[in-house]
Amino acid sequence: MFEPMEGGCLCGRVRYRVTAAPLDGAYCHCRMCQKSSGAPLQASAEFPLEAFEVTEGRLKAYRSSPWALRRFCPDCGSQISYERAENPTYVSVNIATLDRPESFQPRMHIWRDSRLPWFETTDDLPRYDRDGPRLGG
């Protein structure tokens, strides 16, 4: 049985809750995730769109590409989520913004063709040069 999870931004002005189990999750090595997070990769978990609710504050949206909409705290800049710009069915939540990020581990690495050569992980998860067999990027 799934227990709702909560999370928020660095400054605490934005809080959210997810009320359904994750559909999937991945470590993404694409250049957009690198730039939006300021890190070599971004870990995300996908939830049904209707299961994601902002409970405090409001998120600002940025269309980072023709197909991607990223939402972040307008005060501290923490990126909270990603969704398809057109007809989204799920929201991809940055795992590190969960109050208990250890409660969900991604199951694969995607977009490894953009991986920074000086960064490598030691897990045994499947690795895909592009998007993997999941909901989509």
Of 47, 24, 51, residue with least CA distance to 131: 24
Residue 137: per-residue pLDDT: 44
SS3 at position 127: strand
* pLDDT band at residue 134 using 50, 70 and 90 as cut-offs: low
* pLDDT band at residue 130 using 50, 70 and 90 as cut-offs: confident
Cα of first residue to Cα of last residue in the chain, in angstroms, is 27
Q: How far is CA 21 from the centre of its chain?
A: 14
Do 90 and 47 touch, CB atoms closer than 8 A? yes
Q: For 33, phi and psi rounded to 5 degrees?
A: -65, -40
Residue 132: per-residue pLDDT: 79
pTM: 0.89
| C-alpha angle 128-134-137 in degrees, rounded to nearest 5 | 75
Do 21 and 48 touch, CB atoms closer than 8 A? no
- Rounded Cα distance, 114 and 31, in Å: 6
- What would the pLDDT profile of 47-76 be if each residue is shown by its tens digit? 999 999 999 999 999 999 998 999 999 999
- Per-residue pLDDT, averaged over 99-108, amounts to 94
- Here the tokens at position 71 are 């939402």
Instruction: Enumerate the domain spans of the chain.
Output: 5-114
Question: At the top level of CATH, which class does the domain 5-114 belong to?
Answer: mainly beta
